[in-house]
Structure 1
Amino acid sequence: MRKRLFYTLFCILGIILIYASYKRIYKDSLVQIPVLMYHHFDTEGISETTIHPQNFQRHLKFLKEEGYETVTIEELIGFLKQKKPFPKKPIIITIDDGYLSNYTLAYPVLKEENMKATIFVVTSFREKQPGVTPHFTWEQAKEMYDLGLVDIQSHSYNSHYKIDTIKGSKGALTRPIHSDIKIESDEEFEKRIKEDLLKSKEDIEKNIGNKVIALAYPFGEYSRASEKAAKEVGYRATFIIKDKMNYEDATPHLLKRIQVSGYDIEEDLAKKIKYSKSSFTIIDKVKAKIVSIITSIKDEEVMGREIEIYINGGKVHFPTQSPYIDRNFTILVPVEDVVKSLGAEFTYDEAGGVVLVKNKETKVQFIIDSDKVYINGEEKQMNNTVVLTPKKVIMVPLRFLGEALEKTVIWNEKEKIIYIN
């Protein structure tokens, strides 16, 4: 039996490596489309998001020397959707927020180098001029657009802020507002973001005269609801922040952008583009697959049958999802079934992704896809993340759950039985 398992493993690994090699060759044969992201420009100070215009110009010269041609988002969509003519080495320059420095410092460089860029603007900032850093006006935006080198697209109307949640601060387009003064329903949330994205689109088209087809999510954070709203109001492309390459087999939604730092010189920029290529992660994916296969074999040899759980002498039944051991050899259980058998309370806030478990003494808050947990308000960290299965069952580490509720958890490995008292 053992020899057969390892022979099977050897064959599977061979297939994976062949596939990985094919995938690398296939990806390298496709047109690669890096999208760079800049923000602010300054002649006196630089930071992660502020670059000196002379350094920006060196970046553009370097890209031209390397054979890159700047393209617009409309040209990109035409290529991805209809395979319209496209450069062999395209690149998209994007600038976020719409600071005045985009007009006074970056725009002259773009003109001098004759290179295109897209500026994603927060349209409510055109009038408010918030903070200490001024933003360009609609008149200045139209001047740049009319020359033909700068396109103006959306960065939302007024959603460039974060909402405090138990999972930390999250972008306003990602979830409903739950605060001391406002609790937003899912319907109100969807209505808010749809109106915001439509307002931004209409403001730009009214003041610039162009067609607004693209949205760059503030902070690069999005949700299913925001993607749905963006499509419904007419955005044909959306952008996130992720230091990865886009390829010609991509869709125009959730396109990745590489963050450019004000400290980056030409060599740094070259490295960021090079290591953004997805094919560089193939070996990592193979390693993950190997671990998964080895784990499944180990589980089969050691465990042999389903895990049984007894709470105060009574067997717990799991009608939808059985407990299982993950690749870290941690036992994950359906939290709702266990909690109810323990006589504790269970609630799940689907919009916020928060699971609340409490008894008379203890309140435990788990967060979907996170290893952070809060016990009576104090943050702790688990070795595993909370899992939401395709069947919508929430799985948490059993020992951590039991001990958080001050229960004794005993694991009989030979019999594959867990006792909780």
Structure 2
Amino acid sequence: MMREQPLGYWEVLRKRLWIVALLFVVTMSVIGYSALTAKPIYRASVRLQVLLVEPEEVTLFAQIRNVTLADQIIATQEDFISVATSDLVALRTIARLDLDISASELLDRVTVTRDGEFITVSVEGDTPQQAEAIATALVENALEYYREIRARPAVASGQFIQQQLEQAKQELAAAQNALLKFKLQNNVGSLDREIQAYQDKIRALRDKRDDALIAARQAEALKAEYETLAQSMKEAADAAAQRVAAAREAEDEDALRRALDDEAYYRQKARDYQALAAAQAVAAASHRVAAAEYEQLAARRDADLAALLGLTAEYEELQMAVDQARSNYEFLQGKAREAALKQRQALSLGYLQVVEPARPPQRPAPSRFKRIALVGAVLSLLAGGVLAFLLEFIETLRRPAKHRAPLAG
């Protein structure tokens, strides 16, 4: 029985061959008539190239990207194709050209292909001018919408950064006001410079004190030397006085005159040296007074310096807060400029560039009659065979049970 079953199938097909032939002839006739009466179709194409530009995201922190150039190209192509074949772009194109078709009908005319880093958008139209106009308008609308989408991350980042920038500006102003209040309360400009100035003043005062002490010691040494000289001159004058007394007793006029001259000379020299010693004593005393005053001034500056050093921790904390706030503000300023630049880049330059604009086609697009005819022929034959078996099955069911026979015969 199983070996006779194919023969039964062939018998059914031979019996219902007219149905298969009828479907085939009708199908091919319809396809042929449609091909003969169909209007010519014109196809215009726009060729675009993917541009490798910086990502539109504005990152606040360092990121590690493992995306290759090929991945970027593929992602850009897929995103643009999705946009170009969207209902929104189709509706914008229809409204722009005032077309009397629906969005789905327009998209049925659109074909998008990829070739490396290039994208080709082909559009079919009833006339060469219509095909060119639709292709140009569709691509322009798609690019505009695609750039809007790609610019959104930069716009959102820019808005967020602007909010953070305003907050950082307020924080910087608050930190600066706190530092200014501290400076006014403690009468300091730059604490580091103030401390350095006090250290320089103390060093200068101590140098002057040392110089005064050295000068005092030198004056005291000179005083002692002049006193020694004055004492020696006094002793020489006393010796001359003794010679005067001896000369008077001897009534030696010449010796007396010489002795008197010597005595007068030595006593004058003694007075001169005593005067010089007294002057050096005064000088030594004045130098020591000056040294003491310099030391007092240095001590007061030491106290002032200690007070300033006591402010160092608070000052450094306030200054650090200002520096940190300024650093954050300047960082956010740079990111805000970056976001604005990337937004303009996305909206103007975009990520795709038209390298071959649409032109009116010179001849109609190649007909798809052969392909449609082949598909129609295969489908009509399959449908005819199915219908033949279906009719045979229905006819078998309508027969009385005693007249029924297996399908395979």
> TM-score normalised to the size of structure 2?
0.18
Tell which has more relative contact order, 1 or 2 (C-alpha 8 A, sep 6+): 2
Structure showing greater Rg: 2
> TM-score normalised to the size of structure 1?
0.18
- Structure 1 or 2: more helix by fraction: 2
